[in-house]
Amino acid sequence: MKPEKTFKREVAFLLLLWLAWITETKDVDTLKVLVWPVFTFAALSFGLDWFGKSGAPNGMRQPTFSSYRVRAEHSGEHTSGTDQQPDDRTV
């Protein structure tokens, strides 16, 4: 089943074009009010779309802890604490 199209990127692009038109035709006070909501919506629209398409399941990334694995055995030692190799000095 294909997900439903939301048109959020297209709306964000039109809002950015509209903001560019307002920059040329209106005063600075109008621009100060509109710049934060328009840029926030555009950033979230494009950013969340990229994050959702990044291949992560359900849009969420799962952390990997493979480099932080703690081994129970040290070199030459069993988990019981006894040495695997006999000590030549005691023989």
Residue 90 falls within a domain, yes or no? no
> Hey, what are 27's tokens?
């005063």
Residue 15 falls within a domain, yes or no? yes
User: Could you read off the pLDDT of 57-75 as tens digits, one per residue?
Assistant: 554 555 555 555 555 555 5
Residue 9, judged by CB atoms within 10 A of its CB (0-12, 13-18, 19+), counts as middle
Answer with the residue of higher pLDDT: 36 or 65. 36
Residue 3 falls within a domain, yes or no? yes
Residue 22 falls within a domain, yes or no? yes
Beta-carbon contacts of residue 52 (< 8 Å; ≥ 6 apart): 59
> Hey, what are 43's tokens?
């950033």
User: Could you read off the pLDDT of 6-15 as tens digits, one per residue?
Assistant: 888 899 999 9
Residue 29 falls within a domain, yes or no? yes
| Residue 25 structural domain | 1-54
Residue 82 falls within a domain, yes or no? no
Give this prediction's pTM.
0.52
Domain count, the chain: 1
Residue 74 falls within a domain, yes or no? no
Q: What pLDDT shows up at residue 83?
A: 58
Residue 38 falls within a domain, yes or no? yes
Q: What is the rounded (10 degree) CA torsion for 12, 18, 22, 25? A: 160
Q: What pLDDT shows up at residue 35?
A: 92
Neighbour-count burial for 12-28, b at 16+ CB within 10 Å, e otherwise: beebeeebeeeeeeeee
